[in-house]
Structure 1
Amino acid sequence: MAAGGVPDGGKVEGVMRVRMPGTTKPQDPPRTQNAPGSQDIARDPFFDNAKFLLIVLVALGHSWEQIVSGTHALQSVHTLIYTFHMPAFILLCGYFSQRFTGTPTQVRRLIESVLLPYLFFELAYAATNSAVRDEPFAYTPTEPTYLCWFLVALFLWRLSAPVWRAIRCPVPIAAGLSLTAGLTTMSYDLALPRVLMFLPWFVLGLTLRPEHFALLRTRTARRCAILTLLCAGAASYLWLPAPDEHWLSMDAGHTDLDVSWPRYLAIRIGIFMLSATLVAAFFACVPRRRTAFTALGAATMYPYLLHGLLIRAGEAAGLYPHLKDLGAPGQLLLTAGVIATVFLLSTPPVRRVFRPVVEPRLPRAVVPPGERSR
């Protein structure tokens, strides 16, 4: 996505310098976009490839939700994807937030790249839901609508990045907060349940270094990853009917899921372990070289924010019942259409049209004179 990590459009708020094995000088982790005012820095196609593939999975997941009920095979794939695609996305957001220290310039850019798009698209989705679903129109930015929750979460996670770097054992502490959040009863204001329950993945990304990803860039790792994903897919198929989807969407506590707190903790820890395995498997399968979609991985905010509006348009047109009636051909047609749409929404012409709302700028009166030229 743009300006914020993975939904960041690839803007790197930076990564700490580390010493790579076998070298004598510290090196930066692979960057995915030049720092403002810097000379050309080579992008690492691995991360752009990963971001594009993840946004495709996000769009597929949201689209399949319209027809997945009663489709055993598709439902198993849908469940498998939801086990790892958001954790992987959030992990990359953390990885590309490692230099965020909360300076005025960084905060202003965070407002421009995440908060302002959130306010606009929250309005757009509220209006769309009202028109398509006959819901009363209500613009309530404190209660995120549909996929906008992620922007709120990203804004809060990134603001918290300096705190996590200042404490010891940040990942276990974040995991503890995540589990504790599920034992409490809280409203959905600012998507707080998801902010806290997905938090460990962002914090984990803050702690990762290039050598951690290098462990997954081997032929052996890829072979193991393919086997892992195949086994997970088979298990998902055999396991259906799947458990309550809220276990994976991380927006409900143990009382909402109607389980005891010991059982809740055991299942959540199991989900953490399973998701971590599948996240590693996904990254091991990501192409390391430039591909036909590598360049599009730098603009994932555009398809993320726009694809939901097209899904709502499909609802208004009555498209999904017809596709569901077609069975497997309809599922394949929807899948191919979504992938093509993500490609289209990532292209330069679409980005030029929607840049004012996806990558807005604060009014000149708000920005100090020294920063107006960027």
Structure 2
Amino acid sequence: MSYSTRPSEAGTAETEQPSSTDQVAPEPRAPGDAGTTASGGPAAAARPQRRRDPFFDNAKYFAILLVVAGHCLANLLNVPMAKGLYIFIYMFHMPLFIVVTGYFSRNWTFAGGKARKLITNVGVPYVVFEIAYSLYDWLAGRNDLEISMLNPYYLTWFLCALFMWRLSTPVWQQIRWPLAVALVFALLSYMSDLGGTFDIHRVIGLLPFYVLGLTLKPHHFELLKRPAARPIGAAVLAAGLGGTYLVMNHMSREWIYWRTPNFGLDVGNFTGTMMRLAMFACACVFVAAFLTLIPRGHHWFSRLGAYTLYAYLLHGFVIRLLDFTGWWGADWMHTPPGVVIVVGCAVVVGTLLCTPPVVRTMRWALEPKMTWVFTPLRRPARSR
């Protein structure tokens, strides 16, 4: 088996989004939102735009808080309270981002400049942060300097995966049963060792969540917005959290990372397939339950949800810094009150990293304007 020697989720954990979906998804933007229109031209900017649905921005905001909290909890797993919460969060936090990403990718094509946005808003940040995290680790004296675009470092795996998923979108749009095909493809991928290039096991293993998002329609989310769904969702999440505490000492945490083939988990293909089907089903249920609790209206945090990619890619520097300086070894953190304080701090950090000052400062890396790289867009010929 060839796996990366770079930091894994088991130590300081992985991330998921999507929130790069905020920058690259074809969801129409309200006036003043960052980024450009699909075609990027003045005529496109003049076209009337639909308002963003605050429900999805709210969902992405709360989801990124789960991501940051989960990565902090990864350093406190000797505390049962933290371990159970960590596994529960990891069961659905990335599937949530990926489903939403797929939903807003339903109309993605190679036309109209969308492929260019994929390069600038996903491909370029992948290169920038792959280099940045590698240098950060090296300067801290943790590892030899290693920069490899084929071996995603720490959080960058999600950008790599998103790039591949987006490229595959036109394929899934042509298949009669896309979710079933994607699920079979993912299950088969775990029956052999595909190596560590591009973190390919995780890219293919989480693909069904992206395809699920592609198949969803607005009325599916309307069902989750109903007031009657909220108590049901809360009960499901509570039961899921309780169940996690019951099984957390009887399962390998590698299952929740979606990156290891069956034989790497010491199980046969039948057992591995059944386990992953169960995890896929649980993740979908938890994602739906989580969405029932999301506020539907516009709130102070709604606009922050449009910039969760910033929090996703930047919070890793904070967590790694605490690791480099030995702060995660502080005794007070490894207690139930310490876990509560750490989660509270994670919420604050995750929120701050989505704010306008951070966005303005880091936009050059996450939403670069690289028109000089591309040839002029060809306008479709008008029929006479």
Q: Does 1:112 align with 2:120?
A: yes
Residue 178 of structure 1 and its aligned partner are, at CA, apart by 0.6
Q: CA deviation at 1:366?
A: 2.6
Candidates 54, 57, 66, aligned match of 1:45:
54
1:54 counterpart (59, 63, 66) = 63
Q: 1:12 aligns with which of 17, 25, 36?
A: 25
| Structure 2 residue identity aligned to 1:92 | V
Secondary structure in 2 matching 1:9: helix
Decide whether the 8 Å contact of 1:5 with 1:97 is kept in 2: no
1:182 to 170, 190, 194: 190
Q: What amino acid is the match of 1:78? A: Y
Gapped regions of structure 2 (runs ≥ 5): 1-16, 39-44, 380-384
Q: Deviations over 1:179-210 (max 9, x none)?
A: 00110111111121111000000001011010
Q: Distance in 2 between matches of 1:349 and 1:84?
A: 30
Query: 1:100, 1:5 → 2: CA distance?
Result: 16
The answer to whether the Cα contact below 8 Å between 2:23 and 2:35 also exists between their aligned partners in 1 is yes
Q: Which amino acid letter does the alignment assign opposite residue 58 of structure 1?
A: V
1:216–1:284 contact (8 Å) kept in structure 2 = yes
Counterparts of 1:61-210 in structure 2 under 5 Å? 61-68=70-77, 70-103=78-111, 105-132=113-140, 134-210=142-218
| Contact 1:33–1:43 under 8 Å retained in 2 | no
- Counterparts of 2:71 and 2:348, CA distance in 1: 15
Does structure 1 conserve the Cα–Cα contact (< 8 Å) formed by 2:81 and 2:336? no
Cα separation, partners in 2 of 1:324 and 1:161, compared to 1, 3 Å: farther
1:229–1:278 contact (8 Å) kept in structure 2: yes
- Once the two structures are superposed, the pairs formed by residues 257-336 of structure 1 within 5 Å of their partners are 257-322=265-330, 325=333, 327-336=335-344
Alpha-carbon offset, residue 240 of structure 1: 2.6
Match of 1:28 in 2: none
CA distance in 1, matches of 2:36, 2:333: 48
Residues 283 and 276 of structure 1, relative CA distance in 2, 3 Å threshold: same
Q: Which moved more, 1:120-129 or 1:153-162?
A: 120-129
Conservation of the 8 A alpha-carbon contact between 1:79 and 1:242:
no
Q: Residues 72 and 57 of structure 1: is their aligned pair in 2 closer, same or farther, counting only changes over 3 Å?
A: same
Query: CA offsets per residue over residues 315-369 of structure 1, 9 Å max, x none?
Result: 1222111155551222122111111111111111111111111111225143427
The answer as to whether partners of 2:333 and 2:339 remain within 8 angstroms in 1 is no
Q: In 1, Cα distance between the equivalents of 2:305 and 2:295?
A: 12
In structure 2, the partner of 1:22 is none
Q: Structure 2 CA distance, aligned partners of 1:5 and 1:209?
A: 19
Alignment CA distance shift 1:32-1:119 (3 Å)? closer
Q: Quick one: which amino acid aligns to residue 170 of structure 1?
A: P
Alignment map for 1:333-372 (pairs within 5 Å): 333-362=341-370, 364-368=372-376
Moved more, 226-235 or 286-295: 286-295
**Secondary structure in structure 2 of the residue aligned to 1:255:** helix
Provide the secondary structure at the position in 1 that maps to 2:280: helix
Cα deviation digits, residues 74-119 of structure 1 (max 9, x gap): 1111111111111111001101111111126111110000000000
Contact kept, 8 Å, 2:122 with 2:159, in 1: the verdict is yes
The Cα offsets for residues 3-51 of structure 1, whole Å up to 9 and x where unpaired, read as x863222543259xxxxxxxxxxxxxxx999845233421111000001
The more displaced of 325-334 and 178-187 is 325-334
Are 1:113 and 1:359, in contact at CA under 8 Å, matched by a contact in 2? yes
Determine the C-alpha separation between the residues in 2 that align with 1:219 and 1:48. 19
Answer whether contact 2:35 2:367 (CA < 8 A) is retained: no
How far is 1:159 from its partner? 0.6
Deviation at 1:216, TM superposition (A): 0.8
Deviation at 1:130, TM superposition (A): 2.0
Q: Give me the whole-angstrom Cα distance separating, in 2, the residues matched to 1:126 and 1:33.
A: 28
The answer as to whether partners of 2:123 and 2:159 remain within 8 angstroms in 1 is yes
Percentage of pairs with the same residue: 33
User: SS of 1:185's equivalent?
Assistant: coil
Counterpart for residue 211 of structure 1:
219
Distance 1:325 1:281, change over 3 A: closer
For residues 297-326 of structure 1, the C-alpha deviation after alignment (integer angstroms, 9 at most, x for no partner) is 011110011000111111122211115555
Q: 1:271 to 1:35 in 2, by over 3 A?
A: same
Report the TM-score when normalising by structure 1.
0.89
Gaps of 5+ in 1: 16-30
- 1:242 and 1:49 mapped to 2: Cα distance? 34
